[in-house]
Amino acid sequence: MDASNYYLIGFGVAILISLLGTWLAARRKRLKLQEGLGREVKDEEITSISAWMKADDRIVNEVINDNSLHSKVENLMEDAVSHYPTGKE
């Protein structure tokens, strides 16, 4: 066997390990959802829930990393406090 055959065998083993890991993660996710919902879960539901979770993470990261939002909130709070009646007028 020359080096290219070892490369192909190693690549094949890496793909098999990757597929096995993906299958185990999907199975674990399915079992966790079934346990939480108390019923059988369809593939479409898993895809939908995963998409919502990713969208939520994107929004949270955008808000966290948006420094202009922080200053907007501070400005709004200062405006609200400055216009709040104190009763001393």
Residue 46 main-chain phi, psi, to 5 deg: -65, -45
Work out the percent of the chain whose per-residue pLDDT is above 70: 62
User: For residue 45, what are its two tokens?
Assistant: 């539901």
| Domain locations along the chain | 1-40, 42-89
- What mean pLDDT comes out for the span 7-35? 92
| C-alpha to C-alpha distance for 51 and 31, rounded to whole angstroms | 18
Residue 55: per-residue pLDDT: 62
Distance from C-alpha of 4 to C-alpha of 40, rounded to nearest angstrom:
46
Q: Considering the chain, what is the average pLDDT of its residues?
A: 78
Those residues with Cβ within 8 angstroms of residue 40's Cβ, 6 or more apart along the chain or in another chain = 34
Residue 87 has pLDDT above 60, yes or no: no
pLDDT for 47: 79
